[in-house]
Structure 1
Amino acid sequence: MTQLVQLTKEEGGVGVVCLTRPEVRNAVDGPTAAALVRAFAELDADPEVRVVVLTGAGGHFCAGADLRAQGTPRGNRVEPGAGGPLGPTHERPKKPTVAAVEGYAVAGGLELALWCDLRVAAEDALFGVFCRRFGVPLIDGGTWRLPRLIGLSRALDLILTGRAVPAPEALTMGLVNRVVAPGTALEQALELARQLAVLPQACLLADRERAYAGFALSEAEALREELASGAHVLATEESRRAIARFAAGAGRHGQQVPLDREPDQTPD
């Protein structure tokens, strides 16, 4: 049976999920969506994996849903309660997730990229709501996530026109976080993931959760939740050790400090 999604675990606490349908620009059909759910569930359950990179094989990230599979047993599920048609998109990733984008990230592929926390794109990558021209709606979180990432006016420009957005423009509007040389998106995304993986995780995850949750709260509610979460994190052994490392001189001048460095081990 053809492998639809490849899962690998890299050194440094990083997992990689790769769509492997390059013959259709990694378009996602029903079985591929299910394979994505399984891959992320496996990484979620692995305590050694702290950050995940999502990418696509063959020079493209993802061209969206495989429309040729609709109406067949391989079609994407779109009924209520079935989860995201492209797989995990109706649930927030449990671990920080970085999209490594080469080529097309369009239609549902754009929604997959938006689902990730961060996006690293090759300079010649292309984004867009290309499903607009085919009368296919955004149903993998695009109408919720895109306005929150880039603002309503810019989001409506993309949603209503379906126009192509080159990576440099995507960077200026906040749609992507890094633009890198063509062919290096995965390499650069892995480097970013490794940087995240060495940081104190309880604090990172708590602040990440509060950043997302704040969209549904008033300012006063968000501040109360932030304080309660922060107090909990500061009481953890991980935070106590991290503060002790700082007091001992580690992490000064922007240097990264491995999670397992002892408090009395200052960087060279």
Structure 2
Amino acid sequence: MSALQNSMRTMFVHGRRLGSAWPRLILKAPYCSEANKMMTGEGTVKVEQHEGVTLIGINRPEKRNCVNTPTAEALLKAFQEFDADESSKVAVLYGVGGNFCAGYDLKEVAEDVPVSLGPYGRGPMGPSRFETRKPVIAAVEGFAVAGGLELALWCDLRVVEETAVMGVYCRRFGVPLIDGGTVRLPAIVGVGRALDLILTGRAIKAKEALEWGIASRLVACGTAIGQAVKLAQELLKFPQECMLADRTSVYNAVFSAKSLQEALQFEHENGCPVILKESVQGAKKFIGGVGRHGKFNLHTQPDPAKSKL
């Protein structure tokens, strides 16, 4: 087992005790000595990078990571920079201090602070209207409610702790879903189940969220961030252009295509260029014995096409 795996295993076991320090500690380990770190939005957003993975943390634990205007702007900026950074392939979004995000800061709403209502770019929660080209994984612990649920739904995958709670808690205060909740939730769980959560504002616990498809993975308490990083590292193993092309085709089929034929046409045109770039080399690796029997370490074995006979 590598030093990285040993360190991550320790983090998984002791994740709850480490709490909000988890990402900071893992990136201070010897193998992360070159990780990039920064704080944005008056310190309310933490950004850390290492070996192709960007960790973005909402850092308002005293507010259960409710998002205010500076935090929303900082979140959007962080994801825009991640999207533009060719060295970073996957992002992990998490909340500092035991909660993912409890929504928008209602103190600002009560004080009539203007909320961004622009059709593109920043939504009230930050990146909810931004279309990143690369996968984002939500590491969900504690509460992910109201706008916090919308942020989690914006992500491609959701690694959810068994004690986490989700829900449209803004229902009771007359705050509408304007960060994609009414768009993404029915796309993920279907109209009937989406309306169950949206109309009632009830809580949905992790086990039910997994059964409904809101949670992609259910993990032990205190391990969401570590497991999300592990999942991100697994995605790094794959040929990236092919993975991103398939991701784009999925979102086009769900949100943009007007018909089955239109979706199939887009899939064809979007996928074909990848064949010459990655598929041919992948096929040669397969013929050479790489990646068979469910093994995914394609980038750690020699390329048979370049090997000497």
TM-score, normalised to structure 1, is 0.93
Q: CA deviation at 1:62?
A: 0.2
Alignment of 1:4-153 (within 5 A): 4-11=44-51, 13-70=52-109, 72=111, 76-80=115-119, 83-153=122-192
Supply the distance in 2 between the matched residues of 1:30 and 1:74 (Cα, whole angstroms).
Answer: 9
Q: Does 1:210 align with 2:259?
A: no
Range with greater deviation from structure 2 (1-10 or 32-41): 1-10
Post-superposition CA distance 1:112-145 (Å, at most 9, x none): 0000000000000000000000000000000000
The answer for the alignment partner of 1:255 in structure 2 is 295
Q: CA deviation at 1:194?
A: 0.6
CA contact under 8 A between 1:50 and 1:197: conserved in structure 2? yes
Range with greater deviation from structure 2 (244-253 or 165-174): 244-253
Supply the distance in 2 between the matched residues of 1:7 and 1:148 (Cα, whole angstroms).
Answer: 29
Would the alpha carbon gap of residues 94 and 71 (structure 1) be closer, same or farther in structure 2, given more than 3 Å must change?
A: farther
Q: Secondary structure at the match of 2:94?
A: strand
Post-superposition CA distance 1:230-266 (Å, at most 9, x none): 2111021x33322221121111111112436442299
Q: CA deviation at 1:81?
A: 5.1
Supply the distance in 2 between the matched residues of 1:149 and 1:136 (Cα, whole angstroms).
Answer: 22
The answer for the alignment partner of 1:239 in structure 2 is 279
Post-superposition CA distance 1:8-28 (Å, at most 9, x none): 0123x1111000000000000
Runs of 4 or more, structure 1, over 6 Å off, are none
State how many pairs are aligned. 264
The answer for the alignment partner of 1:163 in structure 2 is 202
Q: Does 1:154 align with 2:154?
A: no
CA contact under 8 A between 2:121 and 2:129: conserved in structure 1? no
Supply the distance in 2 between the matched residues of 1:246 and 1:255 (Cα, whole angstroms).
Answer: 11
Would the alpha carbon gap of residues 249 and 121 (structure 1) be closer, same or farther in structure 2, given more than 3 Å must change?
A: same
2:297 corresponds to which letter in structure 1?
A: V
CA contact under 8 A between 1:31 and 1:74: conserved in structure 2? no
The answer for the alignment partner of 2:271 in structure 1 is 230
> Pairwise CA RMSD of aligned residues?
1.9
CA contact under 8 A between 1:90 and 1:140: conserved in structure 2? yes
Supply the distance in 2 between the matched residues of 1:177 and 1:54 (Cα, whole angstroms).
Answer: 14
Q: Secondary structure at the match of 2:268?
A: helix
Supply the distance in 2 between the matched residues of 1:15 and 1:241 (Cα, whole angstroms).
Answer: 28
TM-score, normalised to structure 2, is 0.81
Q: CA deviation at 1:223?
A: 1.2
Supply the distance in 2 between the matched residues of 1:258 and 1:34 (Cα, whole angstroms).
Answer: 38
- Out of 219, 228, 232, the residue aligned to residue 260 of structure 2 is 219
Q: Secondary structure at the match of 2:187?
A: helix
2:188 corresponds to which letter in structure 1?
A: L
Supply the distance in 2 between the matched residues of 1:42 and 1:241 (Cα, whole angstroms).
Answer: 31
Supply the distance in 2 between the matched residues of 1:124 and 1:167 (Cα, whole angstroms).
Answer: 6
CA contact under 8 A between 1:25 and 1:61: conserved in structure 2? yes
